Amino acid sequence: MAEIKKVGIIGAGMMGADIAISCALAGCEVFMKEISMDLAQAGHDRIAKDLKKWVSKGRIKTDDAGVEKALGLLIPTDSFDLFADVDIVIEAIFEDINVKAENYKELDKVCKPSCIIASNTSSISITKLASASFDSIERKANFVGMHFFSPAVIMKLVEVIKGEETSDETMAAASAFCKKISKEPVTVVDCVGFVVNRILYALNNEAIRLYEEGVCSIEDIDKACQLGLGHPVGPFALMDLTDNALNLNVGNILYEAYGDRFLPRPSMKKKVDAGHYGRKSGRGWHDYRK
Ligand SMILES: NC(=O)c1ccc[n+]([C@@H]2O[C@H](COP(=O)([O-])OP(=O)(O)OC[C@H]3O[C@@H](n4cnc5c(N)ncnc54)[C@H](O)[C@@H]3O)[C@@H](O)[C@H]2O)c1
């Protein structure tokens, strides 16, 4: 497969804009599509600000010229017209199979046959997404999961997910592209939750259970995981960062797939009922209102 140079990103939200700038930092020309030009530009503005922050903190190694070059390569758009010639599309829009499938059907009309189409879905089966979206064997073979982690401009891991009909060539090209954009791929066979979320949700559930049993406080469980396991943040702080409503939703999906070992804990449901979603809402497992 030829080297990937032109990239299409769908969605300029939390994940899409970060993935887009990661590609631009590697020298790719990137078209970032949103539902309106205002949202596309807002994604560009947000990532410009974040990129400067990460560079000043030394978390991304480039200089002012590198930042300007990457931002210049990232083109916001509200149309698929510019996607005709891209080598890969990475979709990062709402976690809804119908919305995603609608977009893939549009891509099917516009993109060249060899284009790799990737989804950043956290929880939807890659095999199901492919069959809901494409008729042709070639499109299904070129469809793959590429699951990035937040903040995607910093986090190195990408789970590269092989759907039932994803070809070995597509897996190899998607993994090579991860390396090109300074990420590290791991190969995963399609399953609910993939690898990291299955491990993470098992850990989170056990942390909540320890708290519910009165074994340890939320603060001390976070401290124990940081100092005893070397985790950069504890499980409760991390759940507050990702949003407890989203956590509960993913927990329910894992429970449906794997049964009792992922049954969401009662106090997680209470947090969500109370609107204590985490940092975003000012309260979660921890209180951020001060
Ligand atoms: N947030 C995370 O930590 C995380 C991590 C890994 C994967 N994901 C996955 O990434 C995807 C996006 O998540 P997010 O957190 O960036 O969501 P987000 O809500 O921040 O961004 C989604 C964006 O998609 C845009 N969008 C919706 N429909 C569109 C369309 N038809 N065309 C173009 N843009 C459209 C929305 O306007 C919005 O800006 C989801 O599938 C999610 O499961 C999220």
Model confidence pLDDT, tens digit, residues 203-212: 999 999 999 9
What CATH superfamily is the domain 197-280? N-(1-d-carboxylethyl)-l-norvaline Dehydrogenase; domain 2 (1.10.1040.10)
Which H helix or E strand runs over 42?
helix 37-56
Q: Model pTM?
A: 0.93
Model confidence pLDDT, tens digit, residues 267-277: 999 999 999 99
Instruction: Decide if 289 contacts 282 (C-beta within 8 A).
Output: yes
Cβ count within 10 A of residue 74: 25
- With a 6 Å cutoff on the Cβ, whether 10 touches ligand 1 is yes
Q: Name the band, by pLDDT with cuts 50, 70 and 90, for residue 77.
A: very high
Q: Which amino acid is at 36?
A: S
Protein residue whose Cα sits closest to atom 27 of ligand 1: 93
Q: Which of 104-108, 123-127, 211-215, 218-222 has the lowest mean pLDDT?
A: 123-127
Domain boundaries, the chain: 6-189, 197-280
Beta-carbon contacts of 239 under 8 Å, excluding residues fewer than 6 positions away, are: 204, 247, 278, 284, 285
Full strand arrangement of the beta sheet holding 74-77: 74-77, 29-33, 6-10, 88-91, 116-119, 143-148, 157-162, 184-189
**Catalytic one of 147, 167, 247, 276:** 147
How crowded is the C-beta side of 131, counted as CA atoms within 13 Å?
A: 7
Q: Give the whole-number percent of the chain exceeding pLDDT 70.
A: 100
- Identify the DSSP state of 287: B
Told to judge if 147 belongs to the known catalytic residues of this protein, a careful annotator would answer yes
Q: Where are the alpha helices (DSSP H) in the chain?
A: 14-25, 37-56, 64-73, 97-110, 126-133, 137-141, 168-180, 196-212, 218-229, 235-242, 244-258, 266-273
Protein residue whose Cα sits closest to atom 33 of ligand 1: 34
Pocket mutation for ligand 1, best pick of 14, 32, 89, 194 (most atoms within 8 Å of C-beta): 14
Told to judge if 247 belongs to the known catalytic residues of this protein, a careful annotator would answer no
Protein residue whose Cα sits closest to atom 3 of ligand 1: 150
- Ligand 1 centre and the CA of 13: distance in Å? 5
Does a cis peptide bond (omega within 30 degrees of 0) precede residue 232?
A: no
Distance of CA 95 to the CA centre of its chain: 10
Q: What three-state secondary structure class fits 251?
A: helix
Whole-number pLDDT of residue 108: 97
Dump the DSSP string for 121-144.
-SSS-HHHHHHHH--SHHHHHTEE
Give the atom of ligand 1 at the shortest distance from the alpha carbon of 100.
31
Pocket mutation for ligand 1, best pick of 37, 93, 129, 133 (most atoms within 8 Å of C-beta): 93
Model confidence pLDDT, tens digit, residues 277-287: 999 999 999 99
**Catalytic one of 34, 91, 159, 165:** 159
**CATH numeric code, 6-189:** 3.40.50.720
Residue 2 has pLDDT above 90, yes or no: no
